[in-house]
Amino acid sequence: MTSLNDLQTKINDEVNKLSFPLRPANLYEPIKYILSIGGKRMRPALLLMACDAFNGDINKAIKPALAIEVFHNFTLMHDDIMDNAPLRRGKATVHEKWNQNVGILSGDVMLVESYKLMMQVGDKLLRPVLNIFNETAVGVCEGQQTDMEFETRNDVHIEEYINMIRQKTAVLLGGALKIGGLIGGANDHNATLLQTFGEQLGIAFQLQDDILDVYGNPEKFGKQVGGDILSNKKTYLLIKALELANGEQSAELKNWFSGSHSNPKQKVEAVTSIYDQLNIRHHAREAMNSYADHAFQALESVNMPAQSKTYLRGFADSLMIRES
Amino acid sequence: MTSLNDLQTKINDEVNKLSFPLRPANLYEPIKYILSIGGKRMRPALLLMACDAFNGDINKAIKPALAIEVFHNFTLMHDDIMDNAPLRRGKATVHEKWNQNVGILSGDVMLVESYKLMMQVGDKLLRPVLNIFNETAVGVCEGQQTDMEFETRNDVHIEEYINMIRQKTAVLLGGALKIGGLIGGANDHNATLLQTFGEQLGIAFQLQDDILDVYGNPEKFGKQVGGDILSNKKTYLLIKALELANGEQSAELKNWFSGSHSNPKQKVEAVTSIYDQLNIRHHAREAMNSYADHAFQALESVNMPAQSKTYLRGFADSLMIRES
């Protein structure tokens, strides 16, 4: 197996080589800009890894891997407009650096460019690969819309939340793995198992993110503790807490999550205290571990070289901080 | 040849039959809404016509025709946000009726849906058809961006203007005809000639639109005379007038087109008077007729049944008010 580090280097080289027309400058420069401000290239790396895992030629998978990265950055460009976000990875977002119309239209053409890249597969794979890509893209849009609708709802159920994060985050990981597997020579059955591995892992990963926001070591995690609480975000922790809370706890939570409060530290401490009373960290970890287990079961069932399985398992473990 | 009226009826039936998931409602209802407020369905009709012209089975072309219509309406949904337009065909625009984020995201998923529809062709045509669709989509985005950039430029040349309207309007007509031709059994050479016919006709049609805005019969044209002048829009007429104007006329034009003026009627009359002095109507008609002639030359060269050629010629003539 090619190491993750080598894959990331290869992807970054190829991203830098992507060429677009010079004009209209305000259509294409934002694409180069958002792609240049980085990220870990995890999604295209997963696509290449899946190809490699079946002993496929990763050079044949590089354009589809770029397609996944361009698509992902298209969603970031439009999400940043919708979220009114001034910064992305510490740099000005496209709609801030240029303007909103530039962000909309550059994003649109990025989506088309991602199709152009994804089409660079053999004729036999063209239709199946694009079908997966279409379903993935629709899922991501549905997930984003559902997430926005959650902001104004107070009756979100755990299952709805899981489905939202599955669509918004996990289907793209699953889609990348399935496409990479098919290019690497996997049959549909094995590629679909790899997709399941990716989706379930993606859900587990997002749940871990929810936990770390409250219980993570801020030095390691690199984010402010309680950021989700302060922004009144509906996370697994909050939804589960509202489900388990008694009348008094429920009223207290609803009070903290309505409007803004002048003392952020106090708010984070009070909410965390209720989470602790309800053993929310434990419940969230159980859910996370359950999705991770599903992921590993799917991976175990894939018919691929043992070495590949071990590698992917190791990769997944490194993503997850497994807590017992 | 199936009549335009029958094609439009068929397209409307199929548009009404398009089904989308019920949820998230705010993702899919705007799609049904914008498709339901109509339009003449000219682009999908052209695609079916091209298929029919080569004696192809138009039932095999109906999904790609819908793809063109869904794509076109996606561009309208996003353009309306960018133009801050409150109304579309007399109805509230999507971002007005819902909100801007809904307009962005519904548009995104419409673009994906248009790919799903466009993929409903035989395996042999899948790649060529999608290549045309990609190029068309990129062209439309480039045209829209260039159009927005023209708003703040005062040095737009005629060739740049023609290229902008070619991209923004004409390539989609050309692309629809080429795809329809291929599905109908045309070889690449003949399908490309039909595409040229569509593109050149599209440019002529847009130039006619520019002329009618100033010189059209408002009762027949259905728009306010001088709307482009009042909104300071750069049209063929204005750009040509600035090219031909003497110092005094140029200063006068620039004065009228800078900022807003309190008397709209006076502004339209003054600008029209300068256009008349410079014989702009004649120049614009010459340009329009020249593009229409190119269109008809391309059509003449297509190897297709004489009857089809006659029909397409008649259809094009009905679009163009040919003035000598």
Read off the pLDDT of each residue in A208-237 and give the average, rounded to a whole number.
Answer: 86
User: Residue A179 corresponds to which tokens in the numbers above?
Assistant: 């496409």
CA–CA distances in Å: residue A263 to residues A211, A266, A269, A270, B315: 22, 5, 10, 11, 70
- The predicted pLDDT at position A324 comes to 38
What single letter denotes the amino acid at residue B295? A
> Are residues A10 and A141 in contact, defined by beta-carbon separation less than 8 angstroms?
no
CA distance B225 to B233: 13
| Centroid of chain to Cα B71 | 12
pLDDT digit string (tens) for A8-63? 999 999 999 999 999 999 999 999 999 999 789 999 999 999 999 999 999 999 99
Q: What is the mean pLDDT of residues A188-211?
A: 97
Pick B144's closest partner by Cβ from A23, A105, A141.
A105
Measured in whole angstroms, the distance separating CA A167 from the mean position of its chain's CA atoms is 9
Of B107, B19, B25, B33, nearest to A146 (Cα)?
B25
B-chain CB neighbours of A141 within 8 Å are 27, 105, 108-109, 112
- Spell out the CATH class of B1-145: mainly alpha
Out of 1.10.600.10, 3.90.76.10, 3.40.50.410, 1.10.510.10, which CATH number does the structure's domain B187-324 have? 1.10.600.10
What pLDDT was estimated at residue B39? 87
Return phi, psi of residue B278, to 5°. Answer: -95, 5
Which pLDDT score, from 0 to 100, does residue A318 have?
A: 84
Tell me the pLDDT tens digit for each residue of B167-185.
Answer: 999 999 999 999 999 999 9
Lowest mean pLDDT among A11-15, B49-53, B113-117, B148-152: B148-152
Set of chain A residues whose Cβ sits within 8 Å of the Cβ of B19: none
- Residues of A numbered 225-264 whose beta carbons fall under 8 angstroms of chain B's beta carbons: which are they? none
Q: Which residue of A has its CA nearest to B114?
A: A134
CA distances from A207 to A21, A47, A149, A318 (A): 41, 22, 19, 15
Residue A260: pLDDT band with limits 50, 70, 90 = confident
Q: What is the pLDDT of residues B136-169, one digit of tens each?
A: 999 999 999 999 999 989 899 999 999 999 999 9
pLDDT at residue A177 tops 90:
yes
State the number of CA atoms in the 13 A half-sphere of B304 facing the CB. 34
The percent of residues in chain A predicted with pLDDT above 70, rounded, is 98
Say which of B21, B105, B123 has its CB closest to residue A82.
Answer: B105
Q: B85 exposed, middle or buried (CB, 10 Å; 0-12, 13-18, 19+)?
A: middle
For A259, the token pair is 């409007």
State how beta strands A91-92 and B87-88 pair.
unpaired
CA distance B268 to chain A (A): 30
Does residue B21 sit at the A interface (CB-CB below 8 Å)?
yes
B94-110 b/e (C-beta count within 10 Å ≥ 16 → b): bbbbbebbbbbbbbbbb
SS3 (DSSP) at B322: coil
Instruction: Tell me the pLDDT of chain A averaged across its residues.
Output: 94
Which candidate, A179, A23, A130, A103, places its Cα nearest to that of B133?
A130
Please give the Cα distance from B129 to A163 (Å, whole number): 34
Structure token digits, residue B194: 């039909």
**pLDDT mean over B11-30:** 96
Alpha-carbon span A107 to B312, nearest angstrom = 36
DSSP 8-state class, residue B19: -
Average pLDDT over residues B36-51: 94
Residues pairing with B104 in the sheet: none
Per-domain residue ranges of chain B: 1-145, 187-324
pLDDT at B222: 63
DSSP SS3 for B92 = strand
Mean pLDDT computed over every residue of chain B: 94
Chain A stretch 105-164, residues whose beta carbon is closer than 8 A to a beta carbon of chain B = 105, 107-109, 111-113, 115-116, 119, 123, 126-127, 130-131, 134, 137-138, 141-142, 144-146, 148-149
Note which residues in 208-227 of chain A have CB less than 8 A from chain B.
none
Rg (alpha carbons) of chain A, rounded to whole number: 20
CA distance A283 to chain B (A): 28
Cβ-based neighbours of B16, under 8 Å, separated by 6 or more? B36
- What pLDDT score was predicted for residue B57? 97
pLDDT the model gives residue A261: 79
Give the pLDDT score at A233. 92
Mean pLDDT throughout A194-201? 98
Residue A222 pLDDT class (50, 70, 90 cuts):
low
Fold of A1-150: Farnesyl Diphosphate Synthase (1.10.600)
Q: Do domains A1-150 and A187-324 have the same CATH topology?
A: yes
pLDDT tens-place string over residues A82-130: 999 999 999 999 999 999 999 999 999 999 999 999 999 999 999 999 9
**Residue A90 backbone phi and psi in degrees, to 5:** 75, -5
User: Which residues in chain A touch residue B149, judged by CB atoms under 8 angstroms apart?
Assistant: 24, 26
pLDDT surpasses 60 at B70: yes
Contact call for B27 and A115, based on CB within 8 A? no
Looking at residue A254, its amino acid is K
C-alpha A281/C-alpha A272 separation (Å) is: 10
**pLDDT (average), residues B66-75:** 98
Asked if the model's pLDDT at residue B324 lies above 50, the reply is no
Interface confidence, given as ipTM, is 0.95
The predicted-structure confidence for B196-254, as pLDDT tens digits, reads as follows: 999 999 999 999 999 999 998 777 766 678 989 998 999 999 999 999 999 999 999 99
**How does pLDDT run across B284-320, given as a tens digit for each residue?**
999 999 999 999 999 999 999 999 999 999 989 888 8
- What stretches of B119-246 show up as alpha helix (H) in DSSP? 123-150, 158-165, 171-183, 188-215, 218-221, 227-230, 236-244
User: Which of A104, A131, A138 minimises the CB distance to B104?
Assistant: A104
B49 touches B180 (CB < 8 A): yes
Q: Is B322 on the interface with A (CB under 8 A)?
A: no
Average pLDDT for A193-207: 97
What's the pLDDT at A321? 67
